[in-house]
Amino acid sequence: MAALKIPDIRFFIGSVAFFTLASRALAVVIGFQIYQITHSPLSLGWLGLVEAIPAISLVLFGGYVADHFNRHKILMITRTASCLCAVALAVLSWHSHTTSLMGLYAVIFLAGIARGFADPASTAFEAQIIPKELTVNGASWISSMWITCSIAGPAAIGFVFDAWGAAGSYLLIAGSFVLSCLWTFLIHPKPQIKPERQESILKSIASGWHFVFTHQPLWAAMVLDLFAVFFGGAMILLPIYANDILHVGAKGLGLLNAAPSVGALIITLIATRHPPIARAGRNLLGAVIGFGVCIILFAFSKHFWFSMVLLFLSGAFDGISMVIRRSMVRLLSPDALRGRIAAANWVFICASNELGAFESGLVAAWIGTIPCVAVGGVITLGIVALISWIAPQLRTLKFDPQTMEQQ
């Protein structure tokens, strides 16, 4: 409970909680709504691409902004922008029979712009709030709250969607974004180390990438996560599984979305007492192997509860990976470069999630949903073998759980 004794960490956790509730619920609603309108896997892929384009193109500049300007204010502005996007989606969805598909895509594009600035600022701001000796403890609590809300948001919003429709769901999501703004506002101002040298924006951004690519454990972990999720991620296709394969509707879709988060939550709570950091590299590679196996089995499942168990296990393995990668980025990054290194990390995350969603939708439209997910899981296992071979420093990476120093 050490990290929770610090008020500003509690405020930050509250901010993350309501933001995650809203954003994860929004992902479920927009995905199901678009699939109801189009009944096309490719339309779900376009949804991922529409968000990826601004998020990836702006996140590097967002990392520069996070290192040179007040991160607290950046978070306040971007949280407010997310709230306005949710309200806009509610307005567009007020009359379901006249909902504009291009309008929905346009608002998601704007939300992606906000994300390009919010993600690196949030990661760097977290390091200002949590003392180094509480890195894994604090990161585990934040991850635990993020995952708890990743469970509650999708699980609850399916019932809200059935009762109130898309417009009512978006208004509830907007209220959660407002509460996130409030908790962010309560955090006290923090000293921020800013770069001493005045250099061009491009050179400043490049310095963050240079640091990442000259430290093998960092780039190897980022590349591993990129390709594992890019090919192995199946979340964007869950509306198809819920509607056409498992036949469980919006309520079942919410539960399917929540299942991986339940597994990840249990792991991150365990990590607050038993962090998987002592043999970080070995544990990271093993976790991604387990994730790939679960995705392969999920692809062929035709039973709802068996699918839930497999998604739960995939989330547990992903939780191990998340705790390790989050701790690595924090422990291996110098203070003055945190925003730009976080931005580089978010490029990999955005590419894996949103571009992976586009890849999944495209391939599913080409070869079918089940073969698409199965092949992705097999490729994930191949990526683990490749990274283990070309990045021995990641494979042998260890930290002292007491001092958090690299061994």
Residue 151 maps to a domain: yes
pLDDT class of 83 with cuts at 50, 70, 90: very high
CB 160 within 8 A of CB 48: no
Average pLDDT, the chain: 84
What whole-number percentage of the chain has pLDDT above 70? 96
pLDDT tens readout for residues 5-44:
888 888 998 999 999 999 989 988 998 888 888 888 788 8
What is the extent of the structural domain holding 49?
3-185+201-395
Residue 196 maps to a domain: no
Among 180, 161, 177, 181, which Cα is nearest to 169's?
161
Q: When comparing pLDDT for 225 and 3, which is higher? A: 225
CATH number for the domain spanning 292: value is 1.20.1250.20
Half-sphere exposure of 398 (CA within 13 A, CB side): 6
Residue 348 maps to a domain: yes
Residue 193 maps to a domain: no
pLDDT tens readout for residues 302-329:
899 999 999 999 999 988 888 888 788 8
pLDDT class of 62 with cuts at 50, 70, 90: confident
Residue 194 maps to a domain: no
Q: Is the pLDDT of residue 179 over 90?
A: yes
Residue 191 maps to a domain: no
- Lookup result for tokens 């759980």: 401
- The domain total for the chain is 1
Interacting residues of 385 by C-beta distance below 8 A, sequence separation 6+:
none
Residue 246 maps to a domain: yes
Residue 152 maps to a domain: yes
Half-sphere exposure of 228 (CA within 13 A, CB side): 29
pLDDT tens readout for residues 258-312:
888 889 888 878 887 787 878 888 899 999 999 999 999 999 998 999 999 999 9
